Amino acid sequence: MDRSRALAIEYAENQYLRTRVEGLASMPGNPYRASVQGDSSCGAFLVAEQPSPMLNRVHGDQEQDAGKLASLLQACAACAPAIALVAASARIAPTVDLQGQLLQRLKGWTHGQLFAPVEAIPASPARSDIESVDLSTLESFCALHREAFNTPAAARPVTQAAFSALLDDARGHLYLAREQGVAVAGAALFVADNGLAYLGTAFTTKAARGQGHHRALIAHRLNQAVALGAQSVAATALVSSQSRRNLEHYGLRLSHLQALYRAAP
């Protein structure tokens, strides 16, 4: 495992998620009780009204920032934030000691982080049935996201607000794929300030799966990343998933494994 590359990927993903929470925190009245601490290198982002590890995390370099991370986990304990740790192989420890604080691995939250320099990305033809999302089509994007991930009703408003916040940032981009004019798939792209383009969430309606929409959205975002001046690209996927195989089809390769942990009770 190339540790410097792994940290660059983790930084880009955290910046993508942190930006969404920053947008929530800036909403009038802060209805979802969102907050951020520290900075993009080491800090925390929290959404008290949405307990998902996706929006409640402490982040930083485990080796250089161990003391800060342990303190943040304690200070933010009310939101039960997760922390992402990197590993080189599938032999990931179920528990980790961080500055005397016991962390437990979250089941179902271990993923592969994939990476490619832009020069390794194969050229792909442009698709006319993929469009950029704006405020007028954001609801369609979020409706597909709700269907694909079976989002609980209570979490839907905060999810839509977080995607809206992403659109307010020049680094964030959302896309919709259509079939005969009907929206069937969506995906996100975020170009972090370290030059790495992170391929964020991607989803397809159940009826449209297996028809190449996920691959088409990967190719489209890769083309967009190159056009936006990114130096490299990264994405997250379950190691044994079709998503990983689709990403590898376009030149991305496994960099490392990411496992989420929480402080033990």
Q: Are 163 and 142 in contact (CB under 8 A)?
A: yes
Q: How far is CA 53 from CA 63, 83, 187, in A?
A: 22, 8, 20
- On the 0-12 / 13-18 / 19+ scale of CB atoms within 10 A, 212 is middle
Q: What is the pLDDT of residue 33?
A: 96
User: Are 61 and 169 in the same domain?
Assistant: no
User: Are 75 and 127 in the same domain?
Assistant: no
> At 108, which amino acid appears?
G
**For range 100-108, the mean pLDDT:** 94
User: Are 15 and 45 in the same domain?
Assistant: yes
User: Are 231 and 124 in the same domain?
Assistant: yes
Q: What is the pLDDT of residue 90?
A: 67
How many residues make up the chain in this entry? 265
User: Are 157 and 234 in the same domain?
Assistant: yes
| Containing structural domain, residue 242 | 117-256
User: Are 242 and 148 in the same domain?
Assistant: yes
Global pTM exceeds 0.85: yes
CATH code of the domain containing 186? 3.40.630.30
Q: What is the pLDDT of residue 125?
A: 83
85-111 per-residue burial string, b: 16 or more CB within 10 A, e: under 16? bbeeeeebeeebebeeeebebeeeebb
Q: Taking all residues of the chain, what is their mean pLDDT, rounded to a whole number?
A: 94
Q: Is the pLDDT of residue 88 over 80?
A: no
User: Are 157 and 244 in the same domain?
Assistant: yes
Nearest residue to 7 via CA among 113, 98, 121: 113
Q: What is the pLDDT of residues 138-148, one digit of tens each?
A: 999 999 999 99
Residue 47 — pLDDT band, cuts 50, 70, 90?
very high
User: Are 159 and 244 in the same domain?
Assistant: yes
Q: What is the pLDDT of residues 158-200, one digit of tens each?
A: 999 999 999 999 999 999 999 999 999 999 999 999 999 999 9
Total tally of structural domains belonging to the chain? 2
User: Are 127 and 103 in the same domain?
Assistant: no
Q: What is the pLDDT of residues 114-166, one digit of tens each?
A: 999 999 998 888 788 999 999 999 999 999 999 999 888 888 999 999 999 99
User: Are 228 and 245 in the same domain?
Assistant: yes
User: Are 20 and 83 in the same domain?
Assistant: yes
User: Are 106 and 139 in the same domain?
Assistant: no
Q: Is the pLDDT of residue 65 over 90?
A: yes
